[in-house]
Amino acid sequence: MKNVILYYYNLNNISLTRYKNKILVKNDNDFYWFELVENIDEVKRQYELTKNQEEYYDFVPNKEKSIFTRYKDNYYVLLKVKENKGDILDRIIKPIEVDVRDEVKLWKELWIRKSDFIEYQMKHIANKYKTIDESIDYYIGLIEVSIQYLSYNEKKQEEKRYLVHKRIDKRNFYNPLNVKVDIKERDLAGYLKLLFMEEDYTEDDISRIIDRANLSFDERIRLFARLLFPSYYLDVYDLVVSCDAGEDELKKVILRNEEYELFLRMIFKLLNKKNDMPYIHFLNL
């Protein structure tokens, strides 16, 4: 791999550190990520979305003036890491608006499709993973509740589209391969979930974030629906089914169910200061 990078890019004296499906490249005082490309068309869109955004890592063209480098039947990109000391919460609350209308699939459609696929999948993997067998009904129920809550959105659909993220990762926030176009509440919900998963919050912290976001009724509905949707479980579920993680990782999530319900109650209270949001019975709201 080192020889491939040396051959295709104008770098020298490099050292490599492997991390999952990507490689950290150090060249003098500069750092780069050499990352595997899973979907070329998606990466082309990500390049177009971020190439004029100074905050995001730069795609480095190879000696053939392409952002893609082929190696052993796979494609890779080289991204130059930038130091960015700004508060990512500023960008989460005020994301970059983009003029794209046809890329975004509605959350409701995606969530229904996910639920249907899991129910289909369970017919083939039942009794294979005890942890999934014992927990999946609860999380399918959460998906159904999140879909129902989203229906309280008065506009039904937000027209504006923003440059947001697949998942919020503080160390990977400005990586263009993590961006997508969607509704802005996606990132705020992801950030709040991250604070919960890292146990890095107080009620005062969450209150300040919500006050700072200054959300409308529809924005509060979309945010809370997104918080109800159990992405934190489904991400690990997918890894377990694909044999990329063990069931113990899923147990860590499940053990915090009651804690997350308390987290949801706290956020609902902070969002519902006008007492205008629909209540959810299973959360005693």
pLDDT in tens, 22-38: 899 999 889 999 999 99
Residue 119 is part of which domain span? 88-283
The count of structural domains within the chain is: 2
The answer on 111 and 25 residing in a single domain is no
The answer on 23 and 75 residing in a single domain is yes
The answer on 245 and 155 residing in a single domain is yes
pLDDT of residue 87: 87
What is the average pLDDT across 229-252?
95
22 DSSP β-pair partners: 19, 35
pLDDT of residue 226: 97
pLDDT of residue 103: 61
Residue that finishes a domain, picked among 45, 80, 115:
80
pLDDT band per the 50, 70, 90 thresholds, residue 17: very high
User: Taking the C-alpha atoms of 251, 253, 257 and 258 in order, what is their torsion angle to the nearest 10 degrees?
Assistant: 90
Strand bridging mode 179-182 / 74-80: unpaired
74 vs 167: CA distance, rounded Å: 24
What is the average pLDDT across 94-107?
80
Q: Which has the closest alpha carbon to 218: 268, 276, 281?
A: 276
Model pLDDT for residues 197-215, shown as the tens digit of each residue = 999 899 999 999 999 999 9
Check: CB of residue 177 under 8 Å from CB of residue 77: yes
The answer on 109 and 165 residing in a single domain is yes
For residue 142, pLDDT over 80 is answered with yes
194 vs 181: CA distance, rounded Å: 20
Q: Which has the closest alpha carbon to 27: 40, 17, 37?
A: 17
pLDDT of residue 21: 75
pLDDT band per the 50, 70, 90 thresholds, residue 70: very high
Task: Compare 219 and 85 and report the one with higher pLDDT.
Answer: 219
The amino acid present at 208, given as its one-letter code, is R
The answer on 177 and 42 residing in a single domain is no
Residue with tokens 């890329």: 103
pLDDT of residue 157: 62
Residue that finishes a domain, picked among 30, 64, 80:
80
The answer on 228 and 180 residing in a single domain is yes
The answer on 137 and 63 residing in a single domain is no
For residue 192, pLDDT over 70 is answered with yes
36 vs 150: CA distance, rounded Å: 35
Edge to edge, the sheet with strand 96-98 lists 96-98, 161-165, 179-182
